[in-house]
Amino acid sequence: MTHTENFPTELTGDDIPMVRFQKVRKSYGALTVLDDLDLDVAAGEMVSIIGPSGSGKTTVLRMLMTLETINDGVIYIDGKPLTHMPRAGKLVPANQRHLRMRRADIGMCFQHFNLFPHMTALENCMEGPVQVLEIPKAEARDRSEELLELVGMIEKKDQHPSRLSGGQQQRVAIARALAMRPKVMLFDEVTSALDPEVIGEVTNVIRKLVSEHKLTMLMVTHQMGFARDISDRVCFFYGGKIEEQGRPAELFGNPQKERTQQFLSAVREAV
């Protein structure tokens, strides 16, 4: 057990990471999914998370989006605690109000898109800005249309999700998340539910985001080639820990750990 109340209530210094996991533990009953995780992501950095299923990689994103609670440790966003809040100089578990305040910096795209089926593509994108950010409708519409343009979905803006293909739905979902102007974007296996021929349309949108926007991104993926191309850093998860991490060329080209080598050669054989 660590004592989270003694963790810093705010990160200070020159190099404050956009995201910091500090001694984070997550378990479901007796099963420990993530153990003592330390991970920093710098502002503007693109980090890919790879690893076998059950290694805890999706849990990392879900904890950051506050879809899962954590059992120990603290997660910081932009130098301020997310999972905890300061009270009398010490950290205590966050209440709903604090979570809502800090969560505004984070956006997420899901494996199964999770678009709202009763709204059109445009309405999906406008929903957050209008309802949550309370931006005037006309302004939200302009901004959403710009984003749908960016992801190449402007022609389909008045379609409901049921009329769109998986790749199209995922691109709308990316626009919807971006409409909230997050500082950190999370991509959770966003191509895993797609047919092979449409994966490219989604990965191209993410490439564009990486090259044109200064967003901090965390991506869980099975697309090794894609992770190698666009990441600043790749983390290989195994058994609830970061087994190895490094620049993509190093990790893919010259993995040091045996488990990394095994995983990468198994993935190559499958292709």
Partner 1 sequence: MFDWKWDFVWEIAPRLIGATGNTLVAAGAGYAIAVVLGLILALAQRTPYRVLTFVVRELVEFVRSTPLILQIFFIFYVGPQFGIRLSPWMSGMIAIGLHYACYLSEVYRGGIEAVPTGQWEAATALNMTTAQRYRRVIIPQAIPPALAGMGNYLVGIFKDTPMLSVIGVAELIHTANAIGSENYRFLEPYTMVGIIFLAISLPAAGLIRLFEGYVRRKLGL
* Contacts to partner 1 by CB under 8 A: 65-67, 100, 103-104, 106-108, 110, 112, 114-120, 127-128, 131-132, 160-163, 176-177, 180
- Two structure tokens written together for 22: 């500090």
Query: Which is nearer to partner 1, 83 or 260 (by Cβ)?
Result: 83
Query: Which is nearer to partner 1, 94 or 242 (by Cβ)?
Result: 94
- CB environment 51-90: b (16+ within 10 A), e (fewer): beeebbbbbbbbbbbbebebebbbbbbbebbbbbbeeeee
Query: Which is nearer to partner 1, 35 or 127 (by Cβ)?
Result: 127
Q: How far lies 203's CA from each of 47, 50, 227, 229, in Å?
A: 15, 16, 10, 11
* Nearest distance in Å: CB 31, partner 1: 20
Residues 70 and 2: their CA atoms lie apart, in Å, by 13
Query: Which is nearer to partner 1, 66 or 203 (by Cβ)?
Result: 66
* Nearest distance in Å: CB 67, partner 1: 5
- CB environment 123-143: b (16+ within 10 A), e (fewer): bbbbbbbbeeeebeeeebbeb
Query: Which is nearer to partner 1, 41 or 177 (by Cβ)?
Result: 177
* Nearest distance in Å: CB 253, partner 1: 35
Residues 254 and 238: their CA atoms lie apart, in Å, by 18
* Nearest distance in Å: CB 118, partner 1: 4
Query: Which is nearer to partner 1, 116 or 136 (by Cβ)?
Result: 116
Which residues, 6 or more positions from 215, have their beta carbon under 8 angstroms from its beta carbon?
A: 44, 182, 183, 184, 185, 209
Residues 196 and 124: their CA atoms lie apart, in Å, by 25
